[in-house]
């Protein structure tokens, strides 16, 4: 760990505090403050305490921690869904993936990590303010130079034929971009849509049928994580859970 790195402090109740280490700076809690220098000395996996006795463990933030706390313009894809989208797209290091919209860059971070430094993410976004935010969020956390930012409407994009191993869509009306995107997706590979409403899922499937687009519907699913509070003799589902986020629709491109 060094100055400039992100760090996550966790208190006894599991509350997280995420920030960057800076020389001469202090972390302030409601029960006293700690110089960043002491956090650096404690190191990852170590612990620090305020003079008032408030104890924090020191961690490197995960991508999930970062995504949930990073600044946002558009609502980012929720981490459980972003990770599952990378899985449904069957991504591997070195692959090429197409994405829209960049939004705040949450899904971009997951896709860039899945394809690794030898891969490529092409991220389309119509709103310059959103794409600037996505770019800043990515470069502030993990930037392997494998993302190409394109400030344009994906529906109008001139895309190379059969260049992409996967397509990830998190936008309101994904059916509007399908005619542009379909020839750019390799045969037998996947397009995954993130859709908050079931009515969107139905319109998407109707549009694929009406436009005679060459896709097989593989799966429509929700990702449900049911967290438990386990502190024997207490053991029950947590009273506060993440509720509905979105439906994921996995489509496979087939021959026309
Ligand atoms: C919900 S946000 C995406 C959030 C993003 N997945 C994240 O994790 O931060 C949807 C974005 O899609 C953009 N968008 C909508 N239609 C688009 C299109 N046809 N081409 C490119 N971007 C589009 C919107 O401007 C918006 O920023």
pLDDT tens track, the chain, 256 positions: 999 999 999 999 889 999 999 999 999 998 899 999 999 999 999 999 999 999 999 999 999 999 999 999 999 999 999 999 999 999 999 999 999 999 999 999 999 999 999 999 999 999 999 999 999 999 999 999 999 999 999 999 999 999 999 999 999 999 999 999 999 999 999 999 999 999 999 999 999 999 999 999 999 999 999 999 999 999 999 999 988 999 999 999 999 8
Does 79 contact ligand 1 (Cβ within 6 A)? Answer: no
- Mean pLDDT, the chain, integer: 97
Say what the pTM is.
Answer: 0.95
Dump pLDDT digits (tens) for 205-241.
999 999 999 999 999 999 999 999 999 999 999 999 9
- Residue 8 CA to ligand 1 center (angstroms) comes to 29
CB contact at 8 A, 192 and 164: no
Query: Could you tell me the domains of the chain?
Result: 6-61 (3.10.330.20), 65-253 (3.40.50.150)
DSSP tag of 64:
H
Q: How far is CA 34 from CA 3, 18, 85, 91, 231, in A?
A: 15, 14, 39, 42, 29
Q: Which residue has the CA at smallest separation from atom 18 of ligand 1?
A: 153
Q: How far is CA 190 from CA 96, 167, 174, in A?
A: 12, 7, 14
Determine the distance from the C-alpha atom of residue 92 to the mean position of all C-alpha atoms in its chain, rounded to a whole number. 16
Q: Does 103 count as an annotated binding residue? A: no
CA 95 to CA 91: how far, in whole Å? 7
Does 155 contact ligand 1 (Cβ within 6 A)? Answer: yes
CA 186 to CA 145: how far, in whole Å? 23
- Residue 33 CA to ligand 1 center (angstroms) comes to 40
Does 124 contact ligand 1 (Cβ within 6 A)? Answer: yes
CB contact at 8 A, 248 and 221: yes
Position in ligand 1 atom list of the atom nearest CA 106: 8
> What is the chain's percent helix, strand, coil content, to nearest 5?
30, 30, 40
Q: Which residue has the CA at smallest separation from atom 7 of ligand 1?
A: 76
């Amino acid at each position: 760990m060094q100055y400039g790195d992100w760090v996550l402090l966790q208190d006894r109740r599991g509350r997280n505090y995420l920030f960057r280490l800076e020389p001469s700076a202090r972390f302030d809690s409601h029960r006293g403050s700690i110089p960043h220098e002491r956090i650096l000395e404690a190191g990852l996996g170590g612990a620090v305490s305020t003079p008032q006795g408030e104890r924090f463990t020191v961690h490197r933030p995960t991508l999930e921690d970062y995504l949930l706390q990073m600044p946002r313009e558009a609502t980012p894809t929720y981490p459980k869904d972003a990770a599952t989208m990378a899985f449904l797209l069957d991504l591997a290091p070195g692959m090429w993936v197409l994405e829209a919209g960049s939004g705040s860059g949450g899904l971009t971070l997951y896709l860039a990590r899945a394809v690794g430094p030898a891969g490529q993410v092409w991220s389309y976004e119509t709103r310059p303010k959103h794409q600037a935010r996505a770019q800043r969020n990515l470069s502030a956390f993990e930037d392997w130079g494998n993302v190409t930012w394109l400030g344009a409407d994906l529906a109008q994009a001139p895309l190379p034929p059969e260049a992409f191993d996967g397509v990830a869509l998190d936008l309101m009306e994904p059916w509007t971009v399908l005619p542009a995107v379909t020839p750019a997706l390799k045969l037998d590979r996947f397009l995954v849509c993130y859709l908050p409403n079931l009515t969107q899922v139905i319109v998407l499937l109707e549009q694929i049928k009406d436009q005679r687009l060459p896709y097989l519907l593989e799966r429509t699913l929700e990702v449900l994580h049911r967290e438990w509070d386990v502190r024997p003799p207490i053991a029950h589902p947590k009273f506060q859970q993440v509720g509905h986020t979105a439906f994921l629709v996995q489509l496979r491109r087939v021959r026309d």
